[in-house]
């Protein structure tokens, strides 16, 4: 699998500086951590895509993560479709999700965020991510004390307050926009193509399903990393037009050599 997909985070212990008198200056609010990649405008000598549809504010690479105050149009996150198998044998149905953590080459821990679950509807034994703290006694339902939005817990009881949560579970990538229970999909486009779905994704690359079969995937494992002819593309959130230069490719008069160009892929994103 290589390095796991980067997940956008923010934290209260970040951005600390020391004043001239030796006192600590810590931001009152949480600050972004791993929210994206350096944009083209911050690079010394950036090489944009050949169609010139990327701007100085854009960047190559993608990240996942639950929505936070760091998620904006400038720093979005991947928007998957997920269908979580729930602890009572039911399913969420296919809907908008968020990537919490990568579990294998094709397998992710995800949250279903298309709708929230009220605390009185919690399924005992089901994992959730806190969406609204409200008046719920979170310790009584298995989440412990000092609960914050985004905390993940396994429900031990139903609640009786105003708090809500998102169901959390493991899903495996599939080649459809309406995944079945235990599966998910990540959509992308290449050169204004119709919807295409990922068989594998990293921070920098995405692969299609050419030569892949469903028999390589199940919700009980990470999936066999079969490489039998998939097409692969460098990824970003902003454009699917043109090509980008392969690292180390020869540049001739400011133009990338033919053997150094790769078609750019745009991954579907969430901005809030």
- Considering the domain boundaries, does residue 2 fall inside one? no
Residue 32 has pLDDT above 60, yes or no: yes
- For residue 15, tell me if it sits in a domain: no
In a domain, 18, yes or no: no
Domain extent at residue 170 = 29-199+206-270
Residues 106-147 pLDDT 10s: 899 999 999 999 999 999 999 999 999 999 999 999 999 889
Share the mean pLDDT of the chain. Answer: 85
Four-residue CA torsion sign, 70, 75, 81, 82? negative
- Domain-located, residue 132: yes
Determine what percent of the chain is predicted with pLDDT higher than 90: 57
At residue 31, the 3 state secondary structure works out as strand
- Per-residue pLDDT, 221: 44
Instruction: List b or e across 58-84, with b for residues whose CB sees 16 or more CB atoms inside 10 angstroms.
Output: bbbbbbbbbbbebbeeebbbbbbbbbb
Weakest-pLDDT range from 64-73, 147-156, 164-173, 244-253: 244-253
Three-state SS across 120-176? Answer: HHCCCCCEEEEEECCCCCHHHHCCCCCCCCCCEEECCCCCCCCCEEEEEEEEEECCC
| pLDDT computed for residue 258 by the predictor | 53
Within-domain flag for 133: yes
- Nearest-angstrom CA–CA distance, 119 and 134: 10
The answer as to whether 4 is a domain residue is: no
50 or 21, which is more confident = 50
Is 11 within the bounds of a domain?
Answer: no
12 in a structural domain: no
Helix-then-strand count for the chain, H and E:
0, 24
Q: Which residues contact 220 (CB under 8 A, 6 or more apart)?
A: none
Is the confidence at residue 164, as pLDDT, over 50?
Answer: yes
Query: pLDDT for 244-264, tens place per residue?
Result: 877 665 555 555 555 568 889
Q: How confident is the model at residue 14 (pLDDT cuts 50, 70, 90)?
A: low
- The per-residue pLDDT for 100 is 94
Domain count across the chain: 1
């Amino acid at each position: 699998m290589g390095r796991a997909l980067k997940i956008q985070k923010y934290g209260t212990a970040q951005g600390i500086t020391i004043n001239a008198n030796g006192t600590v200056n810590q931001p009152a609010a949480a600050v972004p951590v791993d929210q994206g990649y350096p944009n083209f405008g911050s690079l010394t000598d950036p090489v944009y895509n050949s169609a010139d549809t990327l701007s100085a504010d854009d960047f190559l690479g993608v990240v996942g993560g639950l929505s936070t105050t760091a998620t904006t149009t400038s720093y979005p996150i991947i928007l998957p479709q997920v269908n979580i198998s729930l602890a009572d044998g039911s399913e969420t149905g296919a809907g908008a999700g968020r990537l919490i953590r990568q579990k294998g080459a094709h397998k992710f821990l995800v949250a279903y965020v298309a709708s929230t679950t009220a605390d009185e509807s919690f399924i005992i034994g089901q994992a959730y991510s806190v969406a609204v703290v409200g008046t719920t006694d979170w310790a009584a339902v298995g989440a412990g004390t000092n609960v914050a939005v985004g905390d993940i817990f396994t429900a031990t009881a139903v609640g009786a307050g105003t708090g809500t949560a998102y169901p959390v579970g493991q899903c495996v990538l599939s080649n459809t926009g309406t995944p079945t229970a235990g599966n998910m999909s990540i959509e992308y486009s290449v050169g204004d193509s119709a919807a295409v779905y990922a068989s594998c994704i990293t921070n920098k690359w995405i692969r299609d399903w050419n030569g892949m079969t469903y028999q390589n995937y199940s919700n009980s494992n990470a999936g066999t990393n079969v490489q039998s002819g998939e097409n692969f593309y460098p990824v970003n959130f902003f454009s699917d037009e043109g090509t980008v230069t392969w690292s180390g490719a020869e540049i001739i008069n400011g133009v990338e050599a033919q053997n150094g160009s790769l078609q750019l892929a745009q991954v579907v994103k969430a901005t809030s």
